[in-house]
Each structure stands twice: as structure tokens, then as C-alpha cells.
Amino acid sequence: MATPERFDALSRGLAEGVAQHPDLVGLALMGSASDEAAARRDEWSDHDFFAIIGDGRAGAVRSDLSWLPDQPALALLAREGEVGFVAVYDDGHVMEFAFAEASELSGALAGEATVVVDDAAHSVAELVERSRERAAAGDRFDAANDARLVLVKLLIGVGRARRGEVLVAGQFVRWWAVQHLIRAVRGRHPERSGAARDRIDPARRFERDFPEWADRIARAVAQDVEPAARELFALLGELEPGWPEFPGRAADAVSIRLGWGRDSDATGS
């Protein structure tokens, strides 16, 4: 756990490490590490950031993470994809970051962000602004399409479970179906999504905006795969009244294929 003082010291250390590295041109602190989101930091807040490498230098410097602060306290360093990294300190504090040239982050998304190191051309600020614009454009929900995708993921997931592929079935039901259900709920009731929602991940702070839905989804997915799927199917059905775009025909098809009844409850009683 990082105390507020420790958190701020690590932020300063990041800025100093990037500013002093000859091949790095900028640093943007994201999410709760940014100034604008500092008020919501708690003991579980991580450092999320972009560390930007000068053009054409990624191949030469990406393996060098000596610019990270407090090197003696680093317990773990790992790669996540080509440009993603994670660091864990002895106290359990986490840093997740993209270490890349600006051109490698052309599809990046950003919400709250503070640019603390930039070059003369303000390339990091420009990158962050474009990333924010992409995130804002994606912060819109096609509730009907997401509802259709819930049905697809449940159908495939239950089929995998009945075949005996329980692990992958759980991914379809507990992850993909839930993600689309959350998007469908947010799209169906946009007025309830607060200003503090995460514009990149709709599941973040879903409990704050939809506490009763979040509780019921969490209880549903705590079950075995098929009971979880059937309860998620029932929850999706609660969005149907007064919604002409609800995919009722598809819901009927799924319930028939799986031997469920749309008029029965989620447990089949």
C-alpha cells in the first residue's frame, strides 16, 4: 500500500526519471494518478501512465527500465504485449504503463490525464488529447446491439459448458456476456451513468451508478456456468418492457435452444 506521501514521491520520481533520460520525451499520468482525479485515490490506486520514447528509439531503449523510481524496491517487472509493462514494488504498489513512441499509441484511449513531461512540440499533450477524443467517441452505447451480443455469448457459453469445456464457457458467460450486459444497462439508462464513470471501461464504477444491478450480476456469476448464464438471461429480460428494440425473437430462440422458458425464473423453478 502506498501512502499519499509515497504515491506523490513515486510520481515525482517518474517525472524525474523520464525528464533525465535522453531518449524519453514525455510522461502523462493517467486515471487516479492524474491531478484531476487525485481526490478519488485510495489505498488500492495504482500508477497508470504513458512514458513516451523519442521517434525511432523504441527498439534501442524499450528494454531499459532503469528510469523507474526506487529501483531497489522493485519486486516484479513484466511485459503486457508489445508496449505494455507492469511493475510491482515490495509494498504491493502497482504501476501499469505504456512505454512507446507516440506513433505506437495511435489507438490509445485516455480519460483523466496530466502531462508532466513534454517536448517542445507538445507531442505528449497532443497524444493525450487525441486519446481523450477517441475515448469520448467510444463512450456511447448501442444498447440493442449489446443486448443481442449478451444472447450470443450466453448461447455459446452454455453450449461449451454442456460439451464439458467449463473454463472457456466461464469466459463467455462471466466475462463477455457480463461486459455486454453492463453496456446494455448503461445504454438503456444513460441518465444514471454519473460524471465519475470510466469512459474507457464501462464496468468500472458500475456499482456506483447501478448498485442493485451490480449486486445481482455479481451474485449471478458466483454460480456455476449454466445457472449463472440463466440468471444473466433473466436480468437481460428485465430491460425488455417498454423497449421496442429489445431482441425478443432472439431471446426466444436462445431459450428454446437451451431448453429454458422465458416465462420461468432464472433457476428454472
Range of the domain at 134: 4-138
**8-23: per-residue pLDDT in tens?**
999 999 999 999 999 9
Q: Which of 138, 158, 174 is the last residue of a domain?
A: 138
Q: What is the pLDDT of residue 264?
A: 42
Task: Taking residues 156-168, report their average pLDDT.
Answer: 96
75 & 187 share domain: no
Q: Say how far apart CA 103 and CA 109 lie, in whole Å.
A: 13
Work out the percent of the chain whose per-residue pLDDT is above 70: 93
**165-201: per-residue pLDDT in tens?**
999 999 999 999 999 999 999 989 987 776 666 666 7
**113 touches 200 (CB < 8 A):** no
Q: 235 or 3, which is more confident?
A: 235
Q: Is residue 12 part of a domain?
A: yes
Count of domains for the chain: 2
Lowest mean pLDDT among 57-61, 211-215, 234-238, 249-253: 57-61
pTM (2 d.p.): 0.73
**Integer CA distances (angstroms), 3 to 7, 112, 114, 230, in order:** 6, 21, 20, 43
Across the chain, mean pLDDT equals 89
Q: Is residue 264 part of a domain?
A: no
Q: Who's near 103: CB < 8 A, 6+ residues apart?
A: 55
134 & 147 share domain: no
**CATH number of 53's domain:** 3.30.460.10
